Structure 1
Protein backbone atom coordinates (compact mmCIF):
# COMPACT_ATOMS: atom_id res chain seq x y z
CA UNK A 1 0.00 0.00 0.00
CA UNK A 2 1.33 3.42 -0.96
CA UNK A 3 0.48 6.03 1.68
CA UNK A 4 0.86 9.69 0.80
CA UNK A 5 -0.48 12.79 2.51
CA UNK A 6 0.42 16.45 2.81
CA UNK A 7 0.05 16.71 6.59
CA UNK A 8 -0.26 14.31 9.51
CA UNK A 9 -0.34 13.86 13.27
CA UNK A 10 1.35 10.83 14.77
CA UNK A 11 0.67 9.45 18.25
CA UNK A 12 1.64 6.33 20.19
CA UNK A 13 1.51 4.62 23.57
CA UNK A 14 -1.65 6.13 25.05
CA UNK A 15 -2.40 2.90 26.95
CA UNK A 16 -6.07 3.84 27.21
CA UNK A 17 -7.93 2.23 30.09
CA UNK A 18 -10.92 3.25 32.24
CA UNK A 19 -8.61 3.68 35.22
CA UNK A 20 -6.88 6.62 33.47
CA UNK A 21 -9.80 8.99 32.76
CA UNK A 22 -7.75 12.17 32.27
CA UNK A 23 -5.54 10.51 29.68
CA UNK A 24 -8.65 9.21 27.93
CA UNK A 25 -10.22 12.67 27.95
CA UNK A 26 -7.05 14.07 26.39
CA UNK A 27 -7.47 11.53 23.60
CA UNK A 28 -11.11 12.48 23.06
CA UNK A 29 -10.11 16.16 22.95
CA UNK A 30 -7.34 15.32 20.50
CA UNK A 31 -9.81 13.62 18.16
CA UNK A 32 -12.24 16.54 18.32
CA UNK A 33 -9.97 19.58 18.43
CA UNK A 34 -6.44 18.87 17.21
CA UNK A 35 -6.97 16.92 14.01
CA UNK A 36 -8.93 19.40 11.94
CA UNK A 37 -5.91 20.86 10.15
CA UNK A 38 -4.29 17.60 8.95
CA UNK A 39 -5.00 15.10 6.23
CA UNK A 40 -4.03 11.98 8.16
CA UNK A 41 -3.59 10.60 11.68
CA UNK A 42 -1.27 7.70 12.43
CA UNK A 43 -1.83 5.74 15.67
CA UNK A 44 1.40 3.82 16.05
CA UNK A 45 0.58 1.14 18.56
CA UNK A 46 -0.41 0.66 22.20
CA UNK A 47 -3.50 2.79 21.92
CA UNK A 48 -4.88 0.50 24.64
CA UNK A 49 -3.35 -0.80 27.87
CA UNK A 50 -4.00 -4.28 26.50
CA UNK A 51 -6.20 -5.93 23.86
CA UNK A 52 -7.46 -9.48 24.32
CA UNK A 53 -9.42 -9.71 21.09
CA UNK A 54 -12.13 -7.80 19.28
CA UNK A 55 -14.77 -9.71 21.23
CA UNK A 56 -13.39 -8.80 24.66
CA UNK A 57 -14.84 -5.34 25.30
CA UNK A 58 -18.04 -5.18 23.30
CA UNK A 59 -20.15 -4.27 26.34
CA UNK A 60 -17.78 -1.75 27.90
CA UNK A 61 -19.14 1.84 27.88
CA UNK A 62 -15.56 3.11 27.91
CA UNK A 63 -14.62 1.04 24.87
CA UNK A 64 -17.78 2.11 23.08
CA UNK A 65 -16.80 5.76 23.63
CA UNK A 66 -13.30 5.15 22.27
CA UNK A 67 -14.68 3.28 19.27
CA UNK A 68 -17.15 6.07 18.53
CA UNK A 69 -14.38 8.68 18.73
CA UNK A 70 -12.24 6.70 16.28
CA UNK A 71 -15.15 6.08 13.92
CA UNK A 72 -15.99 9.79 13.85
CA UNK A 73 -12.34 10.73 13.36
CA UNK A 74 -12.04 8.35 10.39
CA UNK A 75 -14.79 10.30 8.60
CA UNK A 76 -12.68 13.48 8.83
CA UNK A 77 -9.11 12.26 8.18
CA UNK A 78 -7.26 9.27 6.81
CA UNK A 79 -6.81 7.13 9.92
CA UNK A 80 -3.98 4.58 10.04
CA UNK A 81 -3.02 2.07 12.71
CA UNK A 82 0.11 0.07 13.54
CA UNK A 83 0.05 -2.72 16.08
CA UNK A 84 1.96 -2.22 19.32
CA UNK A 85 3.28 -4.74 21.79
CA UNK A 86 0.11 -4.49 23.90
CA UNK A 87 -2.57 -4.41 21.21
CA UNK A 88 -1.26 -6.67 18.43
CA UNK A 89 -4.48 -8.72 18.70
CA UNK A 90 -6.57 -5.78 17.52
CA UNK A 91 -8.25 -7.32 14.50
CA UNK A 92 -10.30 -6.76 11.36
CA UNK A 93 -13.65 -6.47 13.12
CA UNK A 94 -12.48 -3.50 15.18
CA UNK A 95 -10.72 -1.93 12.21
CA UNK A 96 -13.92 -2.14 10.18
CA UNK A 97 -16.05 -0.60 12.92
CA UNK A 98 -13.66 2.31 13.42
CA UNK A 99 -12.67 2.95 9.81
CA UNK A 100 -8.96 2.55 10.55
CA UNK A 101 -6.52 1.17 7.98
CA UNK A 102 -3.94 -1.25 9.37
CA UNK A 103 -0.35 -0.72 8.25
CA UNK A 104 2.41 -3.32 8.57
CA UNK A 105 5.28 -2.67 10.95
CA UNK A 106 7.47 -1.22 9.55
CA UNK A 107 5.84 0.90 6.85
CA UNK A 108 7.22 3.54 4.52
CA UNK A 109 5.02 6.59 3.96
CA UNK A 110 5.29 9.97 2.28
CA UNK A 111 4.22 13.03 4.30
CA UNK A 112 4.56 16.56 2.93
CA UNK A 113 6.91 15.35 0.23
CA UNK A 114 9.31 13.53 2.58
CA UNK A 115 9.64 9.77 3.02
CA UNK A 116 9.52 8.26 6.52
CA UNK A 117 9.74 4.79 8.02
CA UNK A 118 7.08 4.20 10.68
CA UNK A 119 7.39 1.51 13.35
CA UNK A 120 5.96 0.92 16.79
CA UNK A 121 9.54 0.41 17.94
CA UNK A 122 9.54 -2.80 19.96
CA UNK A 123 11.08 -4.80 17.11
CA UNK A 124 14.04 -2.40 17.21
CA UNK A 125 14.87 -3.17 20.87
CA UNK A 126 17.10 -6.04 19.84
CA UNK A 127 19.25 -5.95 22.99
CA UNK A 128 16.32 -7.49 24.87
CA UNK A 129 16.69 -10.94 23.35
CA UNK A 130 14.14 -12.55 25.66
CA UNK A 131 11.45 -10.14 24.54
CA UNK A 132 12.34 -10.64 20.88
CA UNK A 133 11.78 -14.39 21.24
CA UNK A 134 8.43 -13.70 22.92
CA UNK A 135 7.52 -11.21 20.18
CA UNK A 136 8.38 -13.65 17.42
CA UNK A 137 6.08 -16.33 18.84
CA UNK A 138 3.16 -14.05 19.68
CA UNK A 139 3.13 -12.64 16.14
CA UNK A 140 2.59 -16.08 14.62
CA UNK A 141 -0.91 -16.33 13.18
CA UNK A 142 -1.59 -19.81 14.55
CA UNK A 143 -0.55 -18.79 18.08
CA UNK A 144 -2.90 -15.78 17.99
CA UNK A 145 -5.73 -17.90 16.57
CA UNK A 146 -5.30 -20.44 19.37
CA UNK A 147 -5.20 -17.75 22.07
CA UNK A 148 -8.37 -16.09 20.73
CA UNK A 149 -10.20 -19.42 21.01
CA UNK A 150 -9.64 -19.49 24.78
CA UNK A 151 -12.49 -18.30 27.02
CA UNK A 152 -12.21 -14.59 27.79
CA UNK A 153 -11.55 -15.28 31.48
CA UNK A 154 -8.54 -17.42 30.55
CA UNK A 155 -7.22 -14.73 28.22
CA UNK A 156 -7.50 -12.13 30.99
CA UNK A 157 -5.68 -14.40 33.44
CA UNK A 158 -2.83 -15.03 30.98
CA UNK A 159 -2.55 -11.33 30.14
CA UNK A 160 -2.51 -10.33 33.82
CA UNK A 161 0.23 -12.86 34.56
CA UNK A 162 2.32 -11.58 31.65
CA UNK A 163 1.87 -8.01 32.88
CA UNK A 164 2.92 -9.00 36.43
CA UNK A 165 6.01 -10.74 35.06
CA UNK A 166 6.85 -7.70 32.96
CA UNK A 167 6.46 -5.37 35.95
CA UNK A 168 8.64 -7.63 38.11
CA UNK A 169 11.32 -7.75 35.42
CA UNK A 170 11.24 -3.96 35.15
CA UNK A 171 11.55 -3.50 38.93
CA UNK A 172 14.47 -5.90 39.19
CA UNK A 173 16.28 -4.27 36.27
CA UNK A 174 15.72 -0.81 37.73
CA UNK A 175 17.12 -1.85 41.11
CA UNK A 176 20.12 -3.90 40.07
CA UNK A 177 21.19 -2.90 36.57
CA UNK A 178 19.94 0.50 35.54
CA UNK A 179 22.44 0.92 32.71
CA UNK A 180 21.62 -2.47 31.24
CA UNK A 181 17.90 -1.81 31.68
CA UNK A 182 18.19 1.41 29.71
CA UNK A 183 19.97 -0.44 26.92
CA UNK A 184 17.35 -3.18 26.79
CA UNK A 185 14.42 -0.76 26.83
CA UNK A 186 15.78 1.40 24.02
CA UNK A 187 16.16 0.70 20.33
CA UNK A 188 19.61 -0.32 19.16
CA UNK A 189 21.60 1.68 16.64
CA UNK A 190 22.30 -1.44 14.61
CA UNK A 191 18.59 -2.29 14.29
CA UNK A 192 17.78 1.26 13.19
CA UNK A 193 20.64 1.26 10.68
CA UNK A 194 19.44 -2.04 9.20
CA UNK A 195 15.95 -0.62 8.77
CA UNK A 196 17.27 2.56 7.17
CA UNK A 197 19.45 0.61 4.73
CA UNK A 198 16.67 -1.84 3.84
CA UNK A 199 14.19 0.92 2.94
CA UNK A 200 16.73 3.50 1.67
CA UNK A 201 14.91 6.14 3.73
CA UNK A 202 16.80 8.26 6.25
CA UNK A 203 13.89 9.35 8.47
CA UNK A 204 12.51 7.01 11.16
CA UNK A 205 9.59 7.58 13.54
CA UNK A 206 8.66 5.20 16.35
CA UNK A 207 7.16 4.99 19.83
CA UNK A 208 7.35 2.24 22.46
CA UNK A 209 10.38 3.44 24.44
CA UNK A 210 8.59 6.37 26.16
CA UNK A 211 11.68 8.52 25.56
CA UNK A 212 10.54 11.27 23.15
CA UNK A 213 13.35 13.05 21.37
CA UNK A 214 14.73 13.96 17.96
CA UNK A 215 18.02 12.22 17.18
CA UNK A 216 20.63 12.58 14.45
CA UNK A 217 22.43 9.23 14.25
CA UNK A 218 25.09 7.42 12.28
CA UNK A 219 26.52 3.93 12.00
CA UNK A 220 29.37 3.59 9.54
CA UNK A 221 28.38 5.46 6.40
CA UNK A 222 24.65 5.29 7.22
CA UNK A 223 23.11 8.48 8.60
CA UNK A 224 19.52 9.12 9.63
CA UNK A 225 17.14 11.16 11.74
CA UNK A 226 14.95 9.49 14.35
CA UNK A 227 11.90 10.92 16.09
CA UNK A 228 10.57 9.11 19.17
CA UNK A 229 6.92 9.61 20.10
CA UNK A 230 5.81 10.28 23.66
CA UNK A 231 3.67 8.02 25.78
CA UNK A 232 0.63 9.66 27.39
CA UNK A 233 -0.07 9.85 31.13
CA UNK A 234 -2.11 12.58 32.79
CA UNK A 235 -3.33 10.43 35.69
CA UNK A 236 -0.23 9.76 37.81
CA UNK A 237 1.15 13.14 38.94
CA UNK A 238 2.74 11.48 41.97
CA UNK A 239 5.16 9.52 39.75
CA UNK A 240 5.47 11.33 36.43
CA UNK A 241 4.86 14.77 35.03
CA UNK A 242 1.68 14.98 32.94
CA UNK A 243 2.67 14.08 29.40
CA UNK A 244 0.87 13.84 26.08
CA UNK A 245 2.14 14.95 22.73
CA UNK A 246 1.80 14.32 19.03
CA UNK A 247 4.26 14.70 16.18
CA UNK A 248 3.00 17.16 13.59
CA UNK A 249 4.37 16.93 10.05
CA UNK A 250 3.39 19.40 7.36
CA UNK A 251 4.98 21.67 4.77
CA UNK A 252 6.56 23.72 7.60
CA UNK A 253 8.51 20.67 8.79
CA UNK A 254 8.36 18.35 11.81
CA UNK A 255 7.60 19.42 15.37
CA UNK A 256 6.22 18.07 18.61
CA UNK A 257 2.78 19.32 19.62
CA UNK A 258 2.27 19.46 23.39
CA UNK A 259 -1.27 18.34 24.26
CA UNK A 260 -1.09 18.90 28.03
CA UNK A 261 -3.41 21.79 28.88
Structure 2
Protein backbone atom coordinates (compact mmCIF):
# COMPACT_ATOMS: atom_id res chain seq x y z
CA UNK A 1 0.00 0.00 0.00
CA UNK A 2 1.25 3.44 -0.93
CA UNK A 3 0.03 6.05 1.54
CA UNK A 4 -1.30 9.19 -0.18
CA UNK A 5 0.27 12.49 0.81
CA UNK A 6 -1.28 13.87 3.99
CA UNK A 7 -2.76 10.51 4.98
CA UNK A 8 -1.79 8.22 7.88
CA UNK A 9 -2.33 4.69 9.09
CA UNK A 10 -3.76 4.28 12.57
CA UNK A 11 -3.48 1.35 14.98
CA UNK A 12 -5.39 0.60 18.19
CA UNK A 13 -5.84 -2.42 20.43
CA UNK A 14 -7.28 -3.80 23.66
CA UNK A 15 -10.44 -1.80 24.33
CA UNK A 16 -12.10 -4.66 26.24
CA UNK A 17 -15.54 -3.12 25.85
CA UNK A 18 -17.97 -4.69 28.27
CA UNK A 19 -15.42 -5.07 31.09
CA UNK A 20 -15.89 -5.13 33.97
CA UNK A 21 -19.51 -4.32 33.01
CA UNK A 22 -21.11 -2.71 29.98
CA UNK A 23 -22.16 0.30 32.05
CA UNK A 24 -18.64 0.77 33.40
CA UNK A 25 -17.08 0.52 29.95
CA UNK A 26 -19.58 2.85 28.27
CA UNK A 27 -17.48 6.03 28.79
CA UNK A 28 -14.48 4.23 27.27
CA UNK A 29 -16.60 3.18 24.29
CA UNK A 30 -17.70 6.78 23.69
CA UNK A 31 -14.08 7.93 23.88
CA UNK A 32 -13.01 5.30 21.36
CA UNK A 33 -15.84 6.26 18.99
CA UNK A 34 -14.77 9.91 19.28
CA UNK A 35 -11.22 8.87 18.34
CA UNK A 36 -12.49 6.96 15.31
CA UNK A 37 -14.52 10.00 14.29
CA UNK A 38 -11.41 12.17 14.54
CA UNK A 39 -8.90 9.95 12.73
CA UNK A 40 -11.23 9.17 9.81
CA UNK A 41 -10.42 12.60 8.32
CA UNK A 42 -6.84 11.67 7.41
CA UNK A 43 -6.81 7.87 7.72
CA UNK A 44 -5.51 5.84 4.80
CA UNK A 45 -6.36 2.71 6.82
CA UNK A 46 -7.21 1.70 10.38
CA UNK A 47 -5.89 -1.45 12.05
CA UNK A 48 -7.63 -2.84 15.13
CA UNK A 49 -5.40 -5.40 16.80
CA UNK A 50 -7.84 -7.40 18.86
CA UNK A 51 -9.72 -7.51 22.15
CA UNK A 52 -12.08 -4.77 21.04
CA UNK A 53 -14.57 -6.58 23.25
CA UNK A 54 -13.86 -8.31 26.53
CA UNK A 55 -15.82 -11.24 25.15
CA UNK A 56 -17.08 -11.99 21.66
CA UNK A 57 -18.86 -15.08 20.40
CA UNK A 58 -20.80 -15.50 17.16
CA UNK A 59 -23.62 -17.98 17.18
CA UNK A 60 -25.26 -18.71 13.80
CA UNK A 61 -27.95 -16.06 14.26
CA UNK A 62 -26.84 -14.23 17.43
CA UNK A 63 -24.01 -11.93 18.51
CA UNK A 64 -23.47 -10.40 21.98
CA UNK A 65 -25.80 -7.51 22.75
CA UNK A 66 -24.50 -3.93 22.86
CA UNK A 67 -21.70 -1.80 21.38
CA UNK A 68 -24.09 -0.10 18.92
CA UNK A 69 -22.06 3.11 18.73
CA UNK A 70 -18.87 1.23 17.93
CA UNK A 71 -20.49 -0.84 15.20
CA UNK A 72 -22.19 2.22 13.73
CA UNK A 73 -18.95 4.19 13.52
CA UNK A 74 -17.00 1.26 12.06
CA UNK A 75 -19.72 0.76 9.45
CA UNK A 76 -19.69 4.46 8.58
CA UNK A 77 -15.91 4.52 8.13
CA UNK A 78 -15.85 1.28 6.15
CA UNK A 79 -18.69 2.47 3.90
CA UNK A 80 -16.78 5.69 3.22
CA UNK A 81 -14.03 3.65 1.57
CA UNK A 82 -11.43 3.72 4.35
CA UNK A 83 -10.17 0.14 4.83
CA UNK A 84 -10.31 -1.30 8.34
CA UNK A 85 -8.43 -4.47 9.25
CA UNK A 86 -9.13 -6.57 12.34
CA UNK A 87 -6.86 -9.06 14.11
CA UNK A 88 -8.55 -11.32 16.64
CA UNK A 89 -7.25 -11.28 20.18
CA UNK A 90 -7.51 -13.79 22.98
CA UNK A 91 -10.87 -12.32 24.08
CA UNK A 92 -12.48 -12.46 20.65
CA UNK A 93 -11.12 -15.71 19.23
CA UNK A 94 -14.58 -16.80 18.12
CA UNK A 95 -15.17 -14.41 15.25
CA UNK A 96 -16.89 -16.17 12.39
CA UNK A 97 -17.93 -13.88 9.56
CA UNK A 98 -19.93 -11.05 11.16
CA UNK A 99 -17.30 -8.36 10.66
CA UNK A 100 -16.68 -9.44 7.07
CA UNK A 101 -20.35 -9.74 6.11
CA UNK A 102 -21.86 -6.79 7.97
CA UNK A 103 -18.98 -4.28 8.13
CA UNK A 104 -16.78 -5.30 5.18
CA UNK A 105 -13.84 -5.60 7.57
CA UNK A 106 -11.39 -8.46 6.90
CA UNK A 107 -10.48 -10.48 9.97
CA UNK A 108 -7.10 -12.16 10.55
CA UNK A 109 -6.40 -14.92 13.04
CA UNK A 110 -2.61 -14.82 12.76
CA UNK A 111 0.04 -12.08 12.39
CA UNK A 112 0.37 -10.81 8.85
CA UNK A 113 3.01 -8.84 6.96
CA UNK A 114 2.16 -5.56 5.24
CA UNK A 115 4.25 -3.06 3.30
CA UNK A 116 3.48 0.65 3.44
CA UNK A 117 5.65 3.11 1.50
CA UNK A 118 8.41 0.49 1.31
CA UNK A 119 8.36 -0.01 5.09
CA UNK A 120 7.65 -3.58 6.16
CA UNK A 121 5.35 -4.37 9.09
CA UNK A 122 4.43 -7.53 10.97
CA UNK A 123 1.08 -6.90 12.61
CA UNK A 124 -0.97 -9.03 15.02
CA UNK A 125 -2.57 -9.18 18.44
CA UNK A 126 0.45 -10.83 20.05
CA UNK A 127 -1.04 -13.56 22.22
CA UNK A 128 0.73 -16.90 22.35
CA UNK A 129 3.84 -15.72 20.49
CA UNK A 130 7.43 -16.23 21.57
CA UNK A 131 8.83 -18.40 24.36
CA UNK A 132 6.94 -19.19 27.55
CA UNK A 133 3.25 -18.45 28.23
CA UNK A 134 2.64 -22.21 28.10
CA UNK A 135 -0.53 -22.15 30.18
CA UNK A 136 -2.24 -19.74 27.82
CA UNK A 137 -0.98 -21.63 24.75
CA UNK A 138 -2.57 -24.84 26.04
CA UNK A 139 -5.81 -23.02 26.80
CA UNK A 140 -5.87 -21.42 23.34
CA UNK A 141 -5.62 -24.84 21.69
CA UNK A 142 -8.74 -25.89 23.59
CA UNK A 143 -10.65 -22.69 22.81
CA UNK A 144 -9.85 -22.86 19.09
CA UNK A 145 -10.69 -26.55 18.81
CA UNK A 146 -13.69 -26.94 16.44
CA UNK A 147 -15.32 -29.55 18.69
CA UNK A 148 -15.13 -27.29 21.76
CA UNK A 149 -16.63 -24.37 19.79
CA UNK A 150 -19.40 -26.66 18.51
CA UNK A 151 -20.24 -27.75 22.06
CA UNK A 152 -20.33 -24.17 23.33
CA UNK A 153 -22.77 -23.12 20.60
CA UNK A 154 -25.28 -25.64 21.94
CA UNK A 155 -25.61 -23.53 25.08
CA UNK A 156 -28.36 -20.93 25.04
CA UNK A 157 -26.68 -17.56 24.32
CA UNK A 158 -28.03 -16.06 27.57
CA UNK A 159 -26.19 -18.75 29.51
CA UNK A 160 -23.13 -19.13 27.29
CA UNK A 161 -22.34 -15.42 26.99
CA UNK A 162 -22.85 -14.80 30.72
CA UNK A 163 -20.58 -17.69 31.66
CA UNK A 164 -17.90 -16.63 29.17
CA UNK A 165 -17.99 -13.02 30.35
CA UNK A 166 -17.47 -14.16 33.93
CA UNK A 167 -14.48 -16.31 32.96
CA UNK A 168 -13.07 -13.53 30.79
CA UNK A 169 -12.82 -11.23 33.81
CA UNK A 170 -11.87 -13.81 36.45
CA UNK A 171 -9.45 -16.13 34.64
CA UNK A 172 -5.97 -14.63 34.80
CA UNK A 173 -4.77 -16.72 31.85
CA UNK A 174 -7.38 -14.92 29.74
CA UNK A 175 -7.54 -11.49 31.34
CA UNK A 176 -3.79 -11.00 31.79
CA UNK A 177 -4.35 -8.54 34.64
CA UNK A 178 -1.09 -9.50 36.30
CA UNK A 179 0.99 -8.92 33.15
CA UNK A 180 0.78 -5.14 32.83
CA UNK A 181 4.27 -4.37 34.11
CA UNK A 182 7.37 -4.08 31.96
CA UNK A 183 9.55 -7.15 32.53
CA UNK A 184 12.71 -5.93 30.82
CA UNK A 185 13.61 -6.68 27.22
CA UNK A 186 15.20 -10.02 28.02
CA UNK A 187 11.96 -11.20 29.70
CA UNK A 188 9.42 -9.72 27.30
CA UNK A 189 8.39 -12.69 25.17
CA UNK A 190 7.15 -10.50 22.31
CA UNK A 191 10.54 -8.80 22.16
CA UNK A 192 12.16 -12.21 21.97
CA UNK A 193 9.71 -13.27 19.27
CA UNK A 194 10.56 -10.19 17.18
CA UNK A 195 14.31 -10.71 17.56
CA UNK A 196 14.01 -14.31 16.42
CA UNK A 197 12.05 -13.17 13.36
CA UNK A 198 14.81 -10.72 12.51
CA UNK A 199 17.33 -13.56 12.39
CA UNK A 200 15.73 -14.70 9.13
CA UNK A 201 14.21 -11.57 7.61
CA UNK A 202 14.35 -7.81 7.98
CA UNK A 203 11.17 -6.04 9.09
CA UNK A 204 10.98 -2.36 9.92
CA UNK A 205 8.15 -2.49 12.46
CA UNK A 206 6.53 -5.13 14.64
CA UNK A 207 3.17 -3.85 15.87
CA UNK A 208 1.25 -5.80 18.52
CA UNK A 209 -1.24 -5.38 21.34
CA UNK A 210 -2.15 -7.80 24.14
CA UNK A 211 0.40 -6.57 26.70
CA UNK A 212 -1.67 -3.53 27.77
CA UNK A 213 1.54 -1.50 27.88
CA UNK A 214 2.57 1.23 25.44
CA UNK A 215 6.08 0.20 24.37
CA UNK A 216 8.45 1.52 21.70
CA UNK A 217 11.62 -0.59 21.69
CA UNK A 218 14.55 -0.53 19.28
CA UNK A 219 15.32 -4.11 18.30
CA UNK A 220 18.35 -3.01 16.28
CA UNK A 221 19.39 0.06 14.29
CA UNK A 222 16.60 -0.43 11.73
CA UNK A 223 13.75 -2.31 13.42
CA UNK A 224 11.29 -1.39 16.17
CA UNK A 225 8.79 -3.25 18.32
CA UNK A 226 5.67 -1.22 19.08
CA UNK A 227 3.09 -2.31 21.61
CA UNK A 228 -0.08 -0.24 21.39
CA UNK A 229 -1.02 -0.24 25.07
CA UNK A 230 -4.76 -0.23 25.75
CA UNK A 231 -7.97 1.80 26.02
CA UNK A 232 -8.49 1.03 29.69
CA UNK A 233 -5.64 2.88 31.38
CA UNK A 234 -3.46 4.45 28.69
CA UNK A 235 -5.72 5.30 25.70
CA UNK A 236 -2.71 4.98 23.40
CA UNK A 237 -2.62 4.31 19.69
CA UNK A 238 -0.09 4.07 16.88
CA UNK A 239 0.32 6.38 13.88
CA UNK A 240 2.40 5.76 10.77
CA UNK A 241 2.82 8.79 8.51
CA UNK A 242 4.54 6.99 5.67
CA UNK A 243 8.01 7.23 7.17
CA UNK A 244 7.84 7.17 10.96
CA UNK A 245 5.79 5.18 13.46
CA UNK A 246 4.94 6.68 16.85
CA UNK A 247 2.73 6.14 19.85
CA UNK A 248 0.28 8.82 20.92
CA UNK A 249 -2.22 9.24 23.75
CA UNK A 250 -5.82 10.23 23.05
CA UNK A 251 -7.05 12.75 25.58
Same fold, TM-score > 0.5, yes or no = yes
TM-score calculated relative to the size of structure 1: 0.79
Match status 1:231 vs 2:230: yes
- For the 8 Å contact 1:50–1:86, the answer to whether it is kept is yes
CA distance in 2, matches of 1:110, 1:170: 31
- SS of aligned partner of 2:219: strand
Corresponding residue of 2:211: 209
May I ask how many residue pairs the two structures share in their alignment?
237
1:31-42, aligned counterparts within 5 Å?
31-42=36-47
Residue 124 to residue 150, structure 1, CA distance change in 2 (3 Å): same
Q: CA deviation at 1:161?
A: 3.2
Q: CA deviation at 1:170?
A: 6.4
Corresponding residue of 1:236: none
Q: Which of 243, 247, 250 matches 1:256?
A: 247
TM-score calculated relative to the size of structure 2: 0.82
Corresponding residue of 1:195: 197
Match status 1:20 vs 2:28: no
CA distance in 1, matches of 2:121, 2:239: 13
CA distance in 2, matches of 1:168, 1:103: 19
Residue by residue over 1:43-72, the C-alpha shift from the partner in whole angstroms, topping out at 9 and shown as x without a partner, is 000011111325232xx3x32222111111
Structure 1: any 5+ residue segments left out of the alignment?
234-241
Corresponding residue of 2:163: 157
Corresponding residue of 2:235: 244
- SS of aligned partner of 2:128: helix
- For the 8 Å contact 1:5–1:39, the answer to whether it is kept is no
- For the 8 Å contact 1:8–1:249, the answer to whether it is kept is yes
CA distance in 2, matches of 1:225, 1:143: 37
- For the 8 Å contact 1:46–1:84, the answer to whether it is kept is yes
CA distance in 2, matches of 1:169, 1:26: 22
- For the 8 Å contact 1:112–1:250, the answer to whether it is kept is no
CA distance in 2, matches of 1:20, 1:169: 15
Match status 1:75 vs 2:87: no
Q: Which of 97, 101, 111 matches 1:106?
A: 111
